Amino acid sequence: MALTRFTQYRLVLAGYVAQTFAMGGFALWAPTFLHRVHHLSNEEAGSYFGRALVIAGLVATLTGGFVATAWQKRTGRGYAGMLALSSVLTAPVAFVAFSTDDLAVSKLALAASMFLIFLSTGPVNTLILETVPATMRATAMAGLIFAIHLFGDLWSPRIVGHFSDRWDDLQRAALWVLPGALVVSAFFWCWLVWVTKQTDRAEPLAGD
């Protein structure tokens, strides 16, 4: 596939697949986690996580886009840097969310995880378009949508459920599968920052 020639595109895509894997698991299992592990009612758990997801997602998407754009203008690496920052910060916060025995800490960490993970929403879509030639942007976006669902959130809820049943322990399954996916995302997006640094800053991104 022609898109695979573009290193930055590959790295953005790989990191986003891993992040979407984690997000799919969060979306399905976080309320159940609060119910089973911390003994909230299903209604309380679903209501809390739903509100946290909507509010944190909206605020983070706007914040991440604004900060990344300003960062990009100053250094030329703001979009890639925001992706790396988002994933590097989300992984340990998610680990805390699923490992703590304190309900208040778990709820706060889950909300913080949602905020941090959504910081990348604007920059990731911008980079998908700017790391390929203009004539391939539609194909690049289609490839992104296909990949993140086929290799990301399609399977993560099932995988968490599988390990939860196998170990009879949802906390253990969520703890290792979801933060682990975020570590993989952080790896690819930190690599992206490094690749971007090696690129001649005077040279426009492909497609400009």
In whole angstroms, give the CA distance from residue 175 to residue 16: 20
Domains present along the chain, CATH in parentheses? 17-198 (1.20.1250.20)
DSSP structure class, residue 2: G
Report pTM. Answer: 0.90
Q: Which residues contact 163 (CB under 8 A, 6 or more apart)?
A: 172, 173, 176, 177
CB 3 within 8 A of CB 136: yes
Longest CA pairwise span in the chain (Å): 56
Would you report the helix, strand and coil content of the chain in percent, each value rounded to 5?
A: 85, 0, 15
Q: What are the pLDDT tens digits along the chain (208 aa)? A: 678 789 999 999 999 999 999 999 999 999 999 999 999 999 999 999 999 999 999 999 999 999 999 999 998 889 999 999 999 999 999 999 999 999 999 999 999 999 999 999 999 999 999 999 999 999 999 999 999 999 999 999 999 999 999 999 999 999 889 999 999 999 999 999 999 887 744 455 444 4
Token pair belonging to 106: 């778990």
Q: Which residues contact 191 (CB under 8 A, 6 or more apart)?
A: 11
In whole angstroms, give the CA distance from residue 199 to residue 187: 19
Token pair belonging to 68: 């990344």
